[in-house]
């Protein structure tokens, strides 16, 4: 009986520990920032994540008034993913779509937007262009919401610890009598 109780306690601890290691790489900030206006289009966009994404399969598509202006493939430098822009990129509204591989192996995707008054080609944004303020959207193709798996882990751990603790107490009382 005591052996079973110890095993259940150990199992409960095993379930509890790895939860933190399954975190997704969350997009923390971008340059240019989402929903902002920059006077001059930078020669690259930078996406900073909470952890270093895997080098595998990173994609950043930058769409402007003239279409896609991404130049080459993105580079990963620490927690930063950098995407160079073509020197022909004009002023106007830009939308950036990204897909990176989180360090837990899951793909993380999302979009953000900004407005550049002057483009890399020196052109000014056309009159009447509006800034599209759009919240950063992020999605995890691999798992959807993390809430349910975390809840199940917590509940499962509490149940196992509870059963284990109860059995330890019972076996102690049994020894005494």
**Binding of residue 51 to Cu ion (CB under 5 A):** no
Nearest approach, Cβ of residue 28 and Cu ion (Å):
16
**Nearest to 108, CA basis, from 143, 134, 147, 71:** 143
Candidates 12, 24, 81, 115: give the one binding Cu ion (CB under 5 A). Answer: 24
Query: Judged by CB under 5 A, does residue 106 bind Cu ion?
Result: yes
Distance between CA atoms of 134 and 94, rounded to whole angstroms?
11
> Between 24 and 115, whose beta carbon lies closer to Cu ion?
24
Region near Cu ion per CB under 5 A, out of 18-26, 40-48, 79-87, 163-171: 18-26
Check residue 25 for interaction with Cu ion (CB under 5 A).
no
The answer to whether 104 contacts Cu ion (rule: CB under 5 A) is: yes
Angle at 45 between CA 33 and CA 97, to 5 degrees: 80
Give min distance, CB of 18 to Cu ion, in A.
Answer: 13
Stretch that binds Cu ion, among 1-9, 99-107, 122-130, 156-164 (CB under 5 A): 99-107
Report angle CA 122, 124, 126 to the nearest 5 degrees: 145
Q: Which is nearer to Cu ion, 13 or 23 (CB)?
A: 23
**Nearest residue relative to Cu ion (C-beta):** 106
Q: How far apart are CA 18 and CA 155, in angstroms?
A: 15
Q: Which stretches of the chain are assigned E, i.e. beta strand?
A: 27-31, 37-40, 44-49, 54-64, 67-68, 75-77, 80-84, 92-101, 107-118, 137-140
- Point out which residues bind Cu ion (CB under 5 A): 24, 104, 106
């Amino acid at each position: 009986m005591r052996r079973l109780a110890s095993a259940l306690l150990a199992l409960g601890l095993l379930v509890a520990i790895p939860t933190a290691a399954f975190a997704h790489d969350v997009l923390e900030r971008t340059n240019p920032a989402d929903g902002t206006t920059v006077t001059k289009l930078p020669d690259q966009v930078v996406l900073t994540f909470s952890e270093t994404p895997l080098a595998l399969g990173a994609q950043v598509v930058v769409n402007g008034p003239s279409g896609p202006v991404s130049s080459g493939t993105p580079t990963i430098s620490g927690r930063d993913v950098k995407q160079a822009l073509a020197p022909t990129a004009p002023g106007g509204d830009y939308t950036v779509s990204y897909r990176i591989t989180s360090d837990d192996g899951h793909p993380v995707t999302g979009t953000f937007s900004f407005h550049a008054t002057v483009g890399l080609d020196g052109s000014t944004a056309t009159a009447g262009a509006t800034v599209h303020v759009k919240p950063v959207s992020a999605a995890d193709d691999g798992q959807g919401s993390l809430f349910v798996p975390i809840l199940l882990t917590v509940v499962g751990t509490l149940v196992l610890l509870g059963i284990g603790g109860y059995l330890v107490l019972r076996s102690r009382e049994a020894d005494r009598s």
